[in-house]
Amino acid sequence: MENVPRVPSLQVLGYTCQRIDVTASEFGLRQRRLRHFQFGSRHALMFVLPRGVTPVEPVEQAAMASEGKRRKRRGWAEFCALQGVPPLALPGMRLADRYKAVGNAVPLPVARAFAPPSVSPRATPSIAE
């Protein structure tokens, strides 16, 4: 489960729960939006997140879903780059909706760290017992 700031840590009877806090800058992006990921295991397994990128400085204001409604918003290509994706076409969507879709997404490098492609077994995050 991915959450935003001020969300309480999960406690589920019969599960060992773990909370991992990350920012996009830890994964090479130029924004520091804090996100919380929570996991539960019935067997007390712990998720070990591969980190290693030095946080990028300076950072910019986080890419947020609401930016598409602002008059002084960043360009589409710059906004997408903050989320780690190329400028997506997203045909059939209004511009504000495109900003909303990309701004609500977990940045691509962060998502890959949590769920790397199955075709790359060397990139698989480890589970510590």
Mean pLDDT of 39-50: 86
Per residue in 55-113, pLDDT (tens digit) is: 777 888 899 999 999 999 999 999 999 999 999 999 999 999 999 999 999 999 998 88
Average pLDDT over residues 41-55: 81
Question: SS3 sequence, the chain?
Answer: CEECCCCCCCCCCCCEEEEEEEEHHHHCCCECCEEEEEEEECCCCEEECCCCCCCCCCCECCCCHHHHHCCCCCCHHHHHHHCCCCCCCCCCCCHHHHHHHHHHCCCHHHHHHHCCCCCCHHHCCEEEC
Q: Over the chain, what is the mean pLDDT?
A: 84
